Amino acid sequence: MGEETLLLNCRRQIDKIDREIWRLLARRTKIVEKIGCWKKKSGMLIRDPLREEEIIRQKRLQAVVYGLDPDFVESVYRKIFDYGVAIQQKIHEGKK
């Protein structure tokens, strides 16, 4: 197998993984929306800083196990949290 073929094969694998990541993020977003509706009905606050920090702590530990940079993993999860909060904020404001 030539180097170009190997490169193409690797890129196809990455593309497949990326599609799976997006599918899972979309699935996660649907659940975040359900939680947002429930929080609105029950009068709960959108953000739960204690839960977020516990998740960050767990994900940083898991990052090490998987050979990933804990700071990178934390930054990804903080972005995911911010996105979820924005979605739930729209729900609370009646925009979704």
Range of the domain at 70: 3-92
3-state SS record for the chain: CCHHHHHHHHHHHHHHHHHHHHHHHHHHHHHHHHHHHHHHHHCCCCCCHHHHHHHHHHHHHHHHHCCCCHHHHHHHHHHHHHHHHHHHHHHHCCCC
Predicted confidence (pLDDT) per residue in 66-95, tens digit: 999 999 999 999 999 999 999 999 999 987
CATH code of residue 19: 1.20.59.10
> Would you say the pTM of this structure is higher than 0.85?
yes
Number of domains in the chain: 1
